[in-house]
Amino acid sequence: MSTSRKISLLVSAAALVFVTGAQAATPVRVGISQPAYSFVPLDIATQTGICKKQDLDVQKTVFSGSSQLHQALSADSVDIGLGAGPEMGFLAKGAPEKAIAAMADAPEDLALVVLKDGPVKTVADLKGRKISMSTRGSLTEWAARSLSLKQGWGPDGMTMVPLGSFSAQTAALKTRQIDGMVVEAGTAGHMDEEGSGFTLVRFGDIVPHFHIHVIFATNGIIANHPDTVKKFMACYFEGLDYMAAHRAESVKIASDTLNMSEALSGKLYDLLMPHYNRTGKFDKQALDVISQSMVDMGTFPNKLDLSKFYTEEFLPKAK
């Protein structure tokens, strides 16, 4: 064999090794229930290269509510989902999933927003009004019904209207088709910033013990690719640690990802950072409140033992 031929084969082999190495990252399909600041640790983990260190290729899909997310998980369209605590009710109804981490606790990133020049000025004015939420059985529906119960109006003291995306809800509020909307803090902040609305209620004050956001994984990926689940958990929590230690960089990433001003991103960082769950562990009292929320919404006739629907086996070891 000629020297030139040998060199050609060596170059081809090296190129094959390079391509193979470049494709070595394990794909993991991750869905989030809606665009929200609370899910920014995932973006930080991907954009800072933290997930690449775990040899993961995170493929993110954004949905318009919890129902869509869990339909995708059940259909094996995504492997891991970032959603809300009350969505554990889907698991109790047979969704082939497990909750694998508690992401955030008190629901500080949920707010009830009304028009600045609208008829609602106080919480008492909400009785009998039309209030929008994302989808039936969602965290936003539960939050509104919890407020209604706390006011002594019963679970149906306000008329709940499912409108899907936050943009659809904002449009409906501005055209006065609804009187208020339960949305994440970023949408509330946008309306405060532009002067069209104001935040009437923050739900962290209504329910201090809670798991507002939870990470779910399909039974399939848990059974067949447990190492991928562990790597994803390591990726996510390292991203959260980075976020806690690098305010300026995290504020910029969130601003770019969610298309908001850095001023608003900074306010949300300061509001929400203390409420992220840095260990991912589930709390019995918080789970009890979630279970009660399912009864309050009429999802189940009695409280459930939610310990059957989560696992902590994939959480990173405490440092």
Shared-domain flag, residues 122 and 255: no
Same domain, 86 and 116: no
- pLDDT on residue 140: 82
On whether both 46 and 128 belong to a single domain, the answer is no
pLDDT at 318: 60
Residues 301 and 227 in one domain: yes
Q: Are residues 233 and 180 in the same domain?
A: no
Number of structural domains the chain divides into? 2
Mean pLDDT within 252-276: 95
Residue 280 · residue 101 · CB < 8 Å? yes
Residue 19's pLDDT is 45
Domain co-membership, 191 together with 59:
no
Pick the closest to residue 180 from 199, 157, 202, 155 (CA basis). 199
Would you state the pLDDT for residue 1?
55
Question: Mean per-residue pLDDT for 124-140?
Answer: 87
Do 217 and 94 lie in a common domain?
Answer: yes
Residue 142 belongs to domain spanning = 110-202
Q: What are phi and psi of 276, to 5 degrees?
A: -70, 145
Contact 138, 90 (CB under 8 A): no
Report strand pairing: 110-115 vs 197-202.
Answer: antiparallel
Within-domain flag for 1: no
End of a domain among 182, 202, 222? 202
Distance between CA atoms of residues 162 and 245, nearest Å: 38
- From 152, 171, 202, the end of a domain falls on 202
Q: Share the mean pLDDT of the chain.
A: 89
Q: Which residues does 156 contact at the CB level (< 8 Å), separation at least 6?
A: 145, 148
For the domain that residue 84 is a member of, what is the CATH number?
3.40.190.10
230 and 191 part of one domain: no
Of 176, 202, 228, which closes a domain? Answer: 202
